[in-house]
Amino acid sequence: MQTTYGKFYSGRLGRDAEYKVYGSGGKPVLVIPCQCGRFFEFEDLGMINVYAPYIEQGRIQVFTIDSPDGGSLFAQDSPRARMERYEAWINFVVHEALPCFSGINERANGWNIRFMVCGLSLGALHAANLFFRFPEKFDALMALSGIYTLEYITGDYHDDLTYNNSPQQFIAGMPADHPYIAQYNASRIVLCVGRGAWENETLESTLRFAETLKAKGIEAWTDVWGGDSRHDWDWWFAQASYFLPRLLDY
């Protein structure tokens, strides 16, 4: 498998941003690591092996980046400052990382393709946030064991940035005739969660978000796995193995 390491200076983050690229072409896939995870997490913990057959077939090209969490949502700072840094990370992804990765992918394919975005655990929140805020950039989402509102992290603190970065809230507040809804329904959305250990909050949030999407007429595949399905990597391997080919064959 062709693997490339890269980095560039991000003005929005005020530091170098590191990344890895797996594969030589195909549909671009952006993966977001778990809470406070690094860009090498998917490789070090073995998730890249699930993606490997599709990478080696030239069907996908995977791009990995760092989680924003340690410097934003879980920083020792005021809630507003934490949210401002989180919003800076969102803008880093959309305005710096994606143009860089799109250039790499377009040079490989010869044309521009929208991204699939995938995330696990807290990374599923970030992935869903990107997908639902920027449907012009993304046309597929695979979110495993996620929460979809920042209430679990910020508690009683609310402002415009917690609203804009909580899909549960901003989708609920979206007008029924919003043009994004047609774009979502032309895309592919998978939300998966288990009923097993450490999935209580993620199960609650996933089911609540699924109801919100349904109420807005947004089509999503929400799959709830059984009581043995834990909030852990062995189950995420199984879930990604199941959903990835179905998303690609859509």
In sign, the C-alpha dihedral spanning 149, 152, 158, 160 is negative
Tokens of 163: 């609203």
Extended strands (E) in 11-114? 15-22, 27-32, 60-64
Q: Lowest-confidence range among 74-78, 167-171, 220-224, 231-235?
A: 74-78
Q: Per-residue pLDDT tens for 44-99?
A: 999 999 999 999 999 999 999 999 988 889 888 899 999 999 999 999 999 999 99
Query: What is the pTM for the complete model shown?
Result: 0.96
Task: Report CA dihedral (131, 132, 135, 137) to the nearest 10 degrees.
Answer: -30
Q: Quick one: pLDDT band at residue 110, thresholds 50, 70, 90?
A: confident
Do 248 and 59 contact (CB within 8 A), yes or no?
Answer: yes
Please calculate the CA angle 131-129-196 and round it to the nearest 5 degrees: 105
Within 10 A of 4 (CB to CB), how many other CB atoms are there? Answer: 12
**What is the structure's pLDDT at 105?**
95
Q: Tell me, what's the pLDDT at 250?
A: 64
CA distances from 24 to 1, 7, 246 (A): 8, 18, 22
Beta bridge partners of 61: 28
Distances (CA, A) of 22 to 26, 52, 83, 184, 223: 11, 9, 31, 27, 28
CA gap 186, 219 in Å, rounded: 9
Q: Does the pLDDT value for residue 127 go beyond 90?
A: yes
Q: Which fold has domain 3-248?
A: Rossmann fold (3.40.50)
135-193 residue pLDDT tens: 999 999 999 999 999 999 999 999 999 999 999 999 999 999 999 999 999 999 999 99
- Map out the domains of the chain as residue ranges: 3-248
pLDDT given for residue 225 in this prediction:
97
| Cα dihedral sign, 173-160-136-68 | negative
Q: What average pLDDT does the segment 213-222 reach? A: 97
pLDDT given at position 69: 85
User: Does the pLDDT at position 111 exceed 90?
Assistant: no
End-to-end CA distance of the chain: 24
